[in-house]
């Protein structure tokens, strides 16, 4: 069994926190399929302290997804520490993770996310402040560096460890690369060698063979899957089975369609719970359909009618329309995919 401080993981494959994607609905589906650890979407620390509704919602967890970490981001140690203390008091979770790798301009221009990679001394102060504000274990997610001229992942990793961080996830691409281009396994191996805390490898893991290759060439103790999990929550069971030499059976088409239906239906239920005004309740199914579109792109990947499905995607507004159209994409040739939905989602 793998441990990150006092937190024990049941699998070596963990879900990367992704804005707009790793909501509680998707996290639960991934846990069911063998994910060892999940994180909330990144939560802005000062928004959480101000009680902003969306930030509080992002930080919510459920017992079924444990172990779960709440991921916070900010550039000021005092703000991060206060947010960590708030999470410790109000949210049931197993650890607090600090985002130091997000490449999105609106975050880095404020000195947070991947911008923190440029100041290892500030990294140490941030981690130390949070460690002193909570009894929960503290981890961090970083990158290989800002760009190819600033590859300082080793220095940042040492700063995280020195400040009391119990583990580290490293996306082995630079901020300049964002999510594309080669993954720097050589630098990732240097990080593993430089620190005594567990290092989780991240970047470009789309199937079990990639996870095994990363382990062999870098020595990471686990892998973090991001975009490779979208529309493919089964990847966690696949990776953990391969890691331990166990057989694994990919999902059948009925199992795939059943997962899509559950995903959209639970998203609908979540939107009903979070709805405020009555109009929001009336629009809950449509908002759920929009909410899962990024996942649907993954669920249809490789289908004979993939392109046809993607052309219909923005018009799918009900659970039944999504499932029926996805099934047609998998079972009918692209040239004759069968009836498609109208704007309301009903068969044409």
DSSP class per residue in 212-223: HHHHHHH--SEE
Note whether 167 and 199 are within 8 A (CB).
Answer: yes
Burial of 85 (0-12, 13-18, 19+ CB in 10 A): middle
Q: What's the confidence (pLDDT) of residue 334?
A: 55
Pairing between strand 13-15 and 167-174? unpaired
Distance in Å from the first CA to the final CA of the chain:
52
Residue appearing with tokens 């109009």? 279
Q: Verify whether residue 102 is a known catalytic residue.
A: yes
Nearest to 19 by CA among 44, 52, 41, 1: 41
Q: How many CA atoms lie within 13 A of 27 on its CB side?
A: 28
CA distance 139 to 95: 7
Q: What's the confidence (pLDDT) of residue 267?
A: 87
Instruction: Find the radius of gyration of the CA atoms of the chain.
Output: 20
Confidence (pTM): 0.90
Note whether 270 and 23 are within 8 A (CB).
Answer: yes
Q: Which residues pair with 13 in a beta bridge?
A: 223
- Within 8 A by CB and 6+ apart from 124, the residues are 159, 160, 162, 163
Nearest to 70 by CA among 47, 50, 49, 99: 99
Over the stretch 152-163, which tens digit does the pLDDT of each residue have?
999 999 999 999
Q: What's the confidence (pLDDT) of residue 344?
A: 33
SS3 37: coil
Strand blocks (E) in 49-125? 68-73, 95-99
Note whether 42 and 57 are within 8 A (CB).
Answer: no
The residue ranges of the chain whose pLDDT is under 70 are 274-282, 333-348
Structure tokens at 227: 């975009």
Give the DSSP letter of residue 233: T
Q: What's the confidence (pLDDT) of residue 332?
A: 79
The catalytically annotated residue of 30, 35, 93, 102 is: 102
């Amino acid at each position: 069994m793998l441990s990150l401080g006092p937190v024990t993981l049941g699998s070596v494959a963990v879900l990367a926190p992704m804005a707009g994607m790793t909501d509680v609905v998707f996290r639960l589906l991934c846990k069911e399929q063998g994910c060892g650890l999940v994180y909330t979407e990144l939560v802005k620390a000062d928004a959480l302290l101000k009680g902003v509704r969306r930030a509080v919602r992002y930080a919510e967890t459920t017992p079924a997804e444990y172990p779960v970490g709440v991921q916070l981001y900010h550039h000021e140690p005092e703000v991060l520490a206060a947010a960590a203390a708030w999470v410790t008091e109000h949210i049931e979770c197993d650890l607090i993770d600090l985002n130091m790798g997000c490449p999105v301009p609106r975050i880095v221009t404020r000195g947070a996310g991947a911008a923190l990679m440029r100041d290892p001394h500030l990294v140490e102060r941030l981690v130390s402040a949070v460690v002193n504000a909570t009894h929960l274990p503290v981890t961090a997610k970083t990158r290989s560096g800002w760009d190819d001229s600033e590859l300082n992942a080793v220095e940042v990793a040492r700063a995280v460890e020195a400040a009391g961080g119990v583990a580290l996830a490293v996306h082995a691409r630079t901020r300049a690369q964002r999510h594309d281009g080669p993954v720097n396994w050589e630098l990732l191996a240097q990080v593993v060698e430089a620190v005594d805390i567990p290092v989780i490898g991240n970047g470009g893991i789309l199937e079990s063979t990639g996870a095994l290759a990363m382990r062999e060439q870098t020595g990471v103790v686990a892998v973090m899957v991001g975009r490779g999990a979208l529309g493919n929550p089964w990847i966690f069971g696949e990776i953990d089975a391969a890691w331990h030499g166990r057989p694994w059976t990919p999902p059948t088409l009925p199992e795939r369609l059943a997962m899509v239906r559950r995903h959209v239906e639970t998203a609908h239920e979540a939107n009903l719970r979070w709805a405020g005004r009555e109009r929001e309740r009336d629009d809950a199914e449509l908002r759920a359909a929009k909410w899962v579109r990024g996942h649907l792109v993954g669920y249809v990947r490789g289908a004979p009618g993939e392109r046809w499905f993607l052309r219909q995607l923005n018009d799918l507004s009900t659970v039944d329309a999504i499932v029926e159209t996805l099934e047609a994409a998998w079972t009918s040739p692209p040239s004759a995919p069968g009836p498609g939905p109208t704007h309301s989602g009903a068969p044409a």
